[in-house]
Amino acid sequence: MHQGSCLCGAVRFEVAGELSPPTACHCTKCRKHTGHYEAGTDVPRTALTVFGEDKVGWYHSSEKVRRGFCTVCGSSLFFDPIHHARIGIYMGAFDTPTNTRLAMHIFVADKGDYYDIADGLPQNLQ
């Protein structure tokens, strides 16, 4: 069981089972939503239990995706591709060790100019 929360603790969550290796997304929308690039893992919706769900706000960043955040402290928590069986959880929200390693970088064509990607992981332009 993996546990996590927002900064203030108003939203907490549990994930049953192992976590998939996370990816780092460097697209403009993820950078603006999180304040840097976003690292997240996808989990089956059925494996996620959210406590304080009434404190989760959703921003529809496109017709296909909404992004979840705590309405109390503003912490970015979820990346929800609508109508999919999986939901993304931002790695920084986990309280317990995840036992994962970053697998790859995506949308690196949009990355910020203030940092380099030098970890040797695969990089996709989109």
Global model pTM greater than 0.85: yes
- The architecture (CATH level 2) of 2-110 comes to Beta Complex (2.170)
Specify the pLDDT at position 126.
83
For the chain, the structural domain boundaries read 2-110
Measured between alpha carbons, how far is residue 93 from residues 5, 62, 83, 120 in Å? 6, 23, 23, 25
Per-residue pLDDT 10s for the chain (126 aa) are 999 999 999 999 999 999 999 999 999 999 999 999 999 999 999 999 999 999 999 999 999 999 999 999 999 999 999 989 999 999 999 998 999 999 999 999 999 999 999 999 999 998
Determine the distance from the C-alpha atom of residue 45 to the mean position of all C-alpha atoms in its chain, rounded to a whole number.
14
Specify the pLDDT at position 98.
96
